[in-house]
Structure 1
């Protein structure tokens, strides 16, 4: 696939193998179950293999947190991994400004600047996982180890069961 987003350009520059998966973004479904779960459903993939890219603020600045779409981010656990006092979610408009991506299309690759990244440890249970490709309706399937290495990410138990 021709690189059409900064995420895909970055993957190609790094020589990382990936498979781009496009799907119809359905606003009604997204409103009902969220971007990540809607992507999993549209792609026919188990929710525990599709990961969402979230932006939090720690004592030391913004940080990327990547967790399965069927889980939620534990800000307390994220702070512990970062050895920070506390973390809080970044508001949507600031997340878009900081990353350069629209909400629902934030990719861990190709952001405006490389931020400290923590990935939920469950990622290593899968050979490949899905993350946003940089726009709504585009997910990329990438090796979990490649994701961790390319982002210089820390692993931690940062996901908790969704309510």
Structure 2
């Protein structure tokens, strides 16, 4: 088998999860990675902004965790903490997020992370037949069935939008 382009794609192939890799031209000057993905992927027929999900790393008392939610939504740290059964959550330090996941900010995928982290997927994912999230590289997204996202990341499903 040929080597996949990213650890996220490797993980999807290994788990035999049906997926589609979507690529767009990432502007290196753009730091609004989620918004860029929404704008670029909206050009693909039928992709709604709420269907494109961002992967955020949060700090919890015993380490790090992952929150996956629609790009247009704001994250409720209180809701993430409740879903994970911890007293509090804060946004993780950029360096800690990159070191733990093995990905750079703007390319953090919920799949194929260096260390599997507790994950919460926003309940709105269940409204779609497919959701898009980072494929592990800026400018690369992967479309998967929400149940595959939840299963492969062992995620808890909760409403984590503010």
**TM-score of the superposed pair, with normalisation by structure 2:** 0.93
- Partners in 2 of 1:92 and 1:86 — Cα distance? 18
Partners of 1:106 and 1:148 lie apart in 2 by: 16
Alignment partner, residue 19 of structure 1: 20
1:74 and 2:76 matched = yes
Output the aligned Cα RMSD: 1.3
Q: 5 Å matches for 1:3-152?
A: 3-28=4-29, 30-31=30-31, 34-44=32-42, 45-152=47-154
Q: Secondary structure at the match of 2:116?
A: coil
Give CA deviations for 1:121-141 in whole Å, capped at 9, x if unaligned. 100000100000000010000
Q: Deviations over 1:48-94 (max 9, x none)?
A: 00000011111222111101000111101111111111111101121
Structure 2 SS opposite 1:131? strand
C-alpha distance in structure 1 between counterparts of 2:3 and 2:51, whole Å: 24
Deviation per residue, 1:7-54 (Å, 9 max, x gap): 0000000000000001000244x34xx211211111123210000001
The number of residue pairs the alignment matches comes to 157
Cα shift at 1:150: 1.0
> Structure 2: where are the runs of 5+ without partners?
none
* Deviating 4+ runs (over 4 angstroms): none
Distance 1:119 1:60 in 2: 19
Residue 39 of structure 1 aligns to a residue in which SS? helix
Distance 2:115 2:80 in 1: 20
CA distance, structure 2, for counterparts of residue 81 and residue 60 of structure 1 = 15
- Larger relative strand fraction: 1
